[in-house]
A = this chain, B = another copy of it.
Amino acid sequence: MEVEIATIGGYEEVGRQMTAVRAGDNVVIFDMGLNLSKVLIHDNVETERMHSLDLIDMGAIPDDRVMSDIEGDVQAIVPTHGHLDHIGAISKLAHRYDAPIVATPFTIELVKQQIEGEEKFGVQNDLVKMDAGGTMPIGEKCELEFVNVTHSIIDAINPVLHTPEGAVVYGLDKRMDHNPVLGDPIDMDRFREIGREGVLCYIEDCTNAGKKGKTPSESVARSQLKDVMYSLEDYDGGIVATTFSSHIARVKSLVEFAEDIGRQPVLLGRSMEKYSGTAERLDFVDFPSDLGMYGHRKSVDRTFKRIMDEGKEDYLPVVTGHQGEPRAMLTRMARGETPYELDEGDKVIFSARVIPEPTNEGQRYQAEKLLGMQGARIYDDIHVSGHLNSEGHYQMLQALNPTNVIPAHQDMKGFSPYVELASNEGYELGRDLHVTKNGNTIQLTE
């Protein structure tokens, strides 16, 4: 059976991930992501109303026109987890394919919300929930399987397309975490089993391939966060925390430690409410029943006012704005635009790392400056990455023992350390190690 990989997006950048796998006549699409930075660099762009072609021209969403060269029927669109660089183009592209969107429940819910916010296209694809560990047939001879992985968002999986020629494992975004605070550990047993059955191709996220050793477990971030927050038990002023809104495990730790030190946590900001609310509704996390979550600016400000009235020392607002985004809640607080007043010595906990790019660094710097002008002091970098460091990559290659490897989720410079790493394991560039680019197809079997 012919197996062919179309590397549509995310092979020259991080963002707008999209890959199609054709096995005989059947095609599965993995991810349809958005490169948000390509949108934000322009002033006043509202993607909700934009046409796909314009977004493709901007480099914001995958250029899926190569799909017309793929001879087969799309049977499923499979986003691996709920981050925007993996689902953010669904509302712009999915309606072109007569195929269901298949994902884990949390991811499906986020896809649904995204589709509802779309104003240009009517996306009518079926939304099919499948849990980690689940399988579904693709055509007569293939099968789609979800293997549980650990990442900085819950309910993440690596999809596997089992073909008569061997498995195609789509390995984007994971950390090797055996103690992930929320959810199950990465299912290495299943990966090893799939490896023994035979893997035709492994597509891998190279983000941290150049970093030595092992990405720390979420339990390490939790231990660091606990150390910080417990050290503030006696502080009787304001403490504010921020983290990635979609990082439910981290939010959960913040909520728990807030209570441990006698403060009432409250989640503030549009995406804080969205992700945590969704996670709670779907029973992924067990928050205290009285945990407040507010998204609209008005209700946020009302909450801030209440906090000021009742005493800052009794609350821990967990807010959006960890990258210093100009319109996020923390930046508004820093500018004195909310009723919450920061005083000399108040603490702001960034349970996040600055995404290392001058735009973010500049915005974050400004946010910290503004916070500092109000007297606040910063706790920084209380975080672990969601992506495999080099040792995790070695372990994956040893578990899967794939015939072909395709580095992804980076540009060529980002691929380099992975190529070196895979070469150490016996792969050879141009033979079974395929460095490729957006818009390419790689035929693996005939």
Contacts and interface: CB of A to CB of B under 8 A. Distances in A.
Stoichiometry, as copies per complex, reads 4
A231 B391 CA distance: 10
A365 B362 contact: yes
Given A220-B220, A365-B359, A394-B345, A176 B417 contact: no
A411 interface: yes
Chain A, interface residues (CB within 8 Å), range: 35 or more
Given A358-B362, A365-B362, A217 B213 contact: no
Contacts of A25: none
Given A220-B220, A358-B358, A212 B379 contact: yes
A2 interface: no
A379 B214 contact: yes
A368 to B, nearest CB: 9
B178 A231 contact: yes
Interface string A216-238: 11011001100110110000000
Contact of A223 (B220, B345, B424): B220
Interface stretch (A68-76, A89-97, A274-282, A429-437): A429-437
A377 B362 contact: no
Contact of A41 (B178, B179, B370, B412): B370
Interface in A182-220: 212-214, 216-217, 219-220
Contacts of A378: 212-213
Contacts of A365: 357-359, 362
Nearest to A389: B379
A390 interface: yes
Contacts of A41: 366, 369-370, 373
A381 to B, nearest CB: 8
A380 interface: yes
Contacts of A364: 358
Interface string A365-401: 1100110010001111100000000110010000000
Contacts of A412: 412, 415-416, 419-420, 429
B216 A227 contact: yes
A413 B219 CA distance: 33
Interface string A333-372: 0010000000011010000000001111111111001100
A24 B217 CA distance: 56
B217 A227 contact: yes
A385 to B, nearest CB: 13
Contacts of A417: 413
A42 to B, nearest CB: 8
A345 to B, nearest CB: 7
Nearest to A421: B377
Given A362-B363, A435-B435, A223 B214 contact: no
Nearest to A379: B213
Nearest to A235: B395
Contacts of A212: 377-380
B227 A219 contact: yes
A231 B362 contact: no
23 contacts: A41-B369, A41-B370, A42-B335, A176-B231, A178-B231, A212-B377, A212-B379, A213-B379, A219-B227, A220-B220, A223-B223, A358-B364, A358-B366, A361-B362, A362-B362, A377-B391, A411-B416, A412-B419, A412-B420, A413-B413, A416-B416, A429-B436, A430-B436
Q: Lowest 9 A-B CB distances belong to which pairs? A: A362-B362, A358-B365, A213-B379, A413-B416, A223-B223, A412-B416, A217-B227, A358-B362, A212-B380
Given A41-B373, A223-B224, A361-B362, 20 more contacts: A178-B230, A178-B231, A212-B377, A213-B377, A213-B378, A213-B380, A214-B231, A220-B224, A358-B358, A361-B361, A362-B363, A362-B365, A377-B390, A377-B394, A379-B391, A412-B416, A412-B420, A413-B417, A423-B437, A430-B436
